[in-house]
Structure 1
Amino acid sequence: MKTYDFFAPTRVLFGPGQLHQLHTLPMPGKKAMIVTSNGQSTIRNGSLETTKNELTQAGCAFALFNQVSANPLKETVEQGAQFARDNQCDFVVALGGGSVMDAAKNMAMLASQPTNDLWDFVFTENGKKQNIKNPVLPWIAITTSAGTGSEVDAAGVITNPETKEKIGVGGFEGMFATYAIVDPELMKTVPPKFTAYQGFDALFHSLEGYISNRHNPMADMVQRAAIENIGAYLPRAVTDGSDMEARTAVAFANTMSGYSMDVSACTSEHSMEHAMSAYHPSLPHGAGLIMISVEYFTYWINRHVCDERFIDMAKFLGKTDASDPMDFITALKALQKACGVDDLKMSDYGIEKSEALTLAKNARATMGGLFLCDPAEMPEADCAGIYERSWK
C-alpha cells in the first residue's frame, strides 16, 4: 500500500522532566478526574503528588479515581464514568500505564453519554453497536510505562468478564488525548519483568504492523524506529531501570508503536493474546504475546507471505547480516533471552493445551477485525495450532 490516512492530533511532550511542564499548558477544563491504578506505584514514585501540584498551579480542581486493574474491566470504566458525573469533572487526567490510559479514555467517552453501559458502544455480537451521542470529555495522558502506545491512539482494551470478551473499545471522534506527557523519569521504578513485558508489547505492535496488509510508507517509518530502539535498548532498561538513555529510547519506541496503530494496524497475534487473558485475567498482556510470538511469526515465515519484510525486521533488531526470514526468529529469541523472558509458560497461568480451539474461536469472534489485517488468511485450525505449539 502506498497511500495512508494518518490522524494523530495529540500534542506530545516527550522527554525526562516533562511532567513538570503540565501546568504551563492551557487546561481543557476546570476540574479533573485523575485516574490511576488500584496499586501504589504513582504514590511511591511521587508522580501522583507532582500531577496534583501541576493541576493546582494550572488553577484546576481535581478528584481521584484509583480503581483501575491490570486488565481494566467494563464495570470499572462504568464506575469511573459515574464518578466523573458525580464529582462534576469536565476533563480526565490518566496517570499510569496502558491499562489506565485505556480505561480513562473510555471513561471520558462514557461520562458524557446518556447511558452508563459501556457495551452499548461495542461492535461485537454482545454489544449494541451504538455511536456516541455527545462529545467526549477532553483527557490528558501521563504515561508511567512504555508498552501500549495508548497515549496517542483513540481506543482502549477493556475486558467484560461476563461475556469473556477482551476487546478494543472506542475509536470515536474526540477520543484522542488533548496532551500526552511521555516522561521517562516516571518509568524508572517499573520492575524488570514488567519493563520487559511492556517493551515487548510495544515491539509486537510494530512487528505486526510491519507485516500487516495495511503497511505503508508512514507506518514503515515509525515501526522501524520502534523496532530498532527496542532491540538496542530494552535489555539495558530491563537490567538497570535507572538507565535514562535506555528508558528514553524505549519510551520513544512505545510512542512510535502507538502511531503504528494510528496509521496501520496490529494483526491477529493481538487478538489471540486477548483471548488468552480474557479467560486468564492474571496473565499480563505482554507476557502472553511473548508466549505465542515465536510460533506465530514462524507460521507466517513458513507460508512465505512476506519474506523480505522478515529479513528487514531481523536487521532492525540488530542482525545486520540477515539474509533469510528465519534470521528474524533468531533475533527475536535472542532479544527474549537478553530480557529474561524466554522461558515463560502458559501452564504457569492455568492455561491448558486443550483450550487451543476455544481460544482460537474467541479471538476471531471478539477481535476478528485484526485477522483481516493479516498478510494472508489464517484458518481457525491454524490459529489453534499456534496455541498448541506455543504451550508448555
Structure 2
Amino acid sequence: MAAARDRVIHLLRQLHRASCRCPAHSHTYSQAPSSQITTDYAFEMAVSSIRYGEGVTKEVGMDLQNMGARNVCVMTDKNLASLPPVQAVIDSLTKSGIKFCLYDKVRVEPTDASFMDAIQFARSRSFDAYVGVGGGSAMDTCKVANLYACNPDSDFLDFVNAPIGKGEPVTATLKPLIAVPTTSGTGSETTGIAVFDYEKLKAKTGIASRAIKPTLGLIDPEHTLYMPERVAANSGFDVLCHSLESYTAIPYNMRSPRPTNPINRPAYQGSNPISDVWAKHALRIVAKYLKRAVKNPDDREARFSMHLASSFAGIGFGNAGVHLCHGMSYPIAGLVKKYRAKDYKVDHPIVPHGLSVVLTSPAVFSFTAAMCPERHLEAAEILGADVRTAKIKDAGLILADTLRKLLFDLNVDDGLAAVGYSTADIPALVKGTLPQERVTKLSPRPHSEEDLSKLFEASMKIY
C-alpha cells in the first residue's frame, strides 16, 4: 500500500513539473505536492443519524415531538405532494399533534432563484424544525432554507462554494432537520451538501458544510416503489459515480492546503480509509441490484437494496468527495437546451443529475486510471469485469468498457450528443467546469483545459 502511494506521489510530482505554469491553468494543479504547499494530515467523518425500515416514515411525528418541535416546515415538490410518501409524513405529524406548513414549490434540479423562494418562505415564519421529503432537490432545498433562516442577515452568496461564492464557514446553530428520501441516488439525507444551478453562469455549484447535514435521515424503502424506470436508473447512476469518484479521489493526506482551523477543513477531503469502505460496499450493491431495480419496479429486494446503497455511498462521498464526473456534470445540466428526460414531470428542459454525471464516466475513468490503476481495476472487478489476466496499465480501459456495457444494458442515451450537445458546445462546457474546483481538485490526475476539452469530446458518443 505504501509503495503504491509513493508511486502516486512520484507521478503527481512529475506531472506538476511538466505542467503549464501560466496563471490561467496553474490552479488545476493545486493538488500536487510541493515544498511550498502543506497538505492535510487528518480527515474527519461527519454523517447524519440514519434510521432504516419499511414504514419508518410513520415515526417522523414522534421524532419531532421528542425534539420539542412546535412549528414545522415540510418541503417537497408538486409531483410528490399528492403521493403516499408526503401523505405518510402529514399523517404522522397530524397524529402527533405537530403544527406544520407545507411548501410544495421545490424545483426539480433547483436554481438559485428556487432556493431564494424557499429561503423567503422559511424566513417569513418562525419554524423550529424542518422536514424534507423527496429526492436530492427537496432535501437540498430544505437544508438551504434552514441555513439562511438561521442566518437572516446573510447574503445568498456568503455560504456558496468559492470561487462563485464566498464559501464562508457556518457558525450559527441550525434547527433540526429530518430528511425523508424518496429516490435512491443523492444520499443527501447523510450529507452536508446542497447543489443548485447558478443561472447567471448556467452551471451548477453548491453549499458544502457539515453544519447543514440533516439531523436524521429516515430511510423508508417503501417510497422507492413509486419511482418510474428512468428515475430509478438515473438515481442509480448517481450512486455508481459517487462510489467510483470517492474511491478514486486524491488521498486526504495529499489534498492541500491544510486548514489553519478545523472549521475550515472541507466536507470533501479526499479518499480515506473509512469512506473507502462505504464506497466499495455501495458499489457491490449497485453491481448486484441496479439492473434489477430499473427493469422491474416490483422487485422489492432490488429497490430496497438500492435505497440503502444511496445512503452508503452518501457516507463515503459526503466525506471523501467526488471529482471529474461531477465537476463536468454541472455545466452539462446547467447548459441544457431542449432535452427533456423521460419520466420527469417538469415544465423545463432537464438533463437529470445522475444522467449528466454518468455520461462522462467512461472517458473520465480512462483518463484518471494512470494515477491509481489498482483502484480502477478493483472497481471494474466489483462491477463484473474478469480481471484475472488483466494488465495494470489497462485498468482505465477495462473500467471504461465495463461502464459502457452497463449503460448500454440500461438504455442510456448515447453520449452528450444524444442530450443536445455538439463539439461547438465544448468551450462553454469547459468554461462551466473550471469554477468547480471544490470537486475537480480532488481528481487523482491533474488536468488542463485541453484535457477537459478532450474528455467532453470523447463523451459526445459513448458506444
TM-score w.r.t. the length of structure 2 is 0.78
**Which residue does 1:227 correspond to in 2?**
283
Given that residues 245 and 322 in structure 2 are in contact (C-alpha distance below 8 angstroms), is that contact kept between their aligned partners in structure 1?
yes
Matched, 1:27 2:93: no
**Which residue does 2:443 correspond to in 1?**
374
Distance 1:104 1:263 in 2: 20
Give 1:82's match in structure 2, choosing from 120, 127, 133: 120
**Which residue does 2:456 correspond to in 1?**
387
Alignment of structure 1 residues 224-303 onto 2, 5 Å: 224-280=280-336, 282-301=350-369
Displacement after TM superposition at 1:348 (Å): 4.0
Amino acid at match of 1:229: I
Distance 1:229 1:4 in 2: 29
Amino acid at match of 2:120: Q
Matched, 1:316 2:382: yes
Give 2:411's match in structure 1, choosing from 337, 340, 365: 340
Give 2:95's match in structure 1, choosing from 39, 57, 73: 57
Distance 1:129 1:319 in 2: 41
Distance 1:262 1:83 in 2: 28
Amino acid at match of 1:43: S
Given that residues 123 and 148 in structure 2 are in contact (C-alpha distance below 8 angstroms), is that contact kept between their aligned partners in structure 1?
no
Amino acid at match of 1:314: A
Distance 2:203 2:404 in 1: 30
Distance 1:308 1:289 in 2: 23
After alignment, is 123-132 or 78-87 more displaced? Answer: 123-132
Q: Secondary structure at the match of 2:69?
A: coil
Give 1:358's match in structure 2, choosing from 422, 428, 438: 428
**Which residue does 1:327 correspond to in 2?**
398
Distance 1:210 1:7 in 2: 15
Task: Answer with 1 or 2: which has the greater Rg.
Answer: 2
**Which residue does 1:203 correspond to in 2?**
240
Distance 2:445 2:433 in 1: 17
RMSD (CA atoms) = 2.0
Displacement after TM superposition at 1:132 (Å): 4.1
Distance 1:59 1:333 in 2: 51
Give 1:305's match in structure 2, choosing from 363, 371, 374: 371
Displacement after TM superposition at 1:18 (Å): 1.5
Q: Secondary structure at the match of 2:434?
A: helix
**Which residue does 2:107 correspond to in 1?**
69
Q: Secondary structure at the match of 1:12?
A: strand
Amino acid at match of 2:455: I
Distance 1:131 1:146 in 2: 29
After alignment, is 128-137 or 93-102 more displaced? Answer: 128-137
Amino acid at match of 2:296: D
**Which residue does 2:86 correspond to in 1?**
48
TM-score w.r.t. the length of structure 1 is 0.92
Give 1:217's match in structure 2, choosing from 270, 273, 276: 273
Distance 1:288 1:170 in 2: 20
Matched, 1:349 2:419: yes
**Which residue does 2:222 correspond to in 1?**
185
After alignment, is 50-59 or 19-28 more displaced? Answer: 19-28
Displacement after TM superposition at 1:185 (Å): 0.7
Alignment of structure 1 residues 138-149 onto 2, 5 Å: 138-149=176-187
Count of paired positions: 385
After alignment, is 82-91 or 125-134 more displaced? Answer: 125-134
What is the CA deviation profile of residues 210-236 of structure 1, one whole-angstrom value per residue up to 9, with x for unaligned ones?
A: 111122221211011110101110000
What is the CA deviation profile of residues 133-180 of structure 1, one whole-angstrom value per residue up to 9, with x for unaligned ones?
A: 63222211000001111110011101121232311214153x121110
Given that residues 201 and 289 in structure 1 are in contact (C-alpha distance below 8 angstroms), is that contact kept between their aligned partners in structure 2?
yes
After alignment, is 212-221 or 103-112 more displaced? Answer: 212-221
Distance 1:329 1:165 in 2: 26
Given that residues 161 and 438 in structure 2 are in contact (C-alpha distance below 8 angstroms), is that contact kept between their aligned partners in structure 1?
no
Displacement after TM superposition at 1:239 (Å): 0.9
Q: Secondary structure at the match of 1:152?
A: coil
**Which residue does 2:345 correspond to in 1?**
none
After alignment, is 290-299 or 144-153 more displaced? Answer: 290-299
Given that residues 297 and 329 in structure 1 are in contact (C-alpha distance below 8 angstroms), is that contact kept between their aligned partners in structure 2?
yes
Amino acid at match of 1:157: V
Q: Secondary structure at the match of 2:119?
A: helix
Matched, 1:121 2:159: yes
**Which residue does 1:157 correspond to in 2?**
195
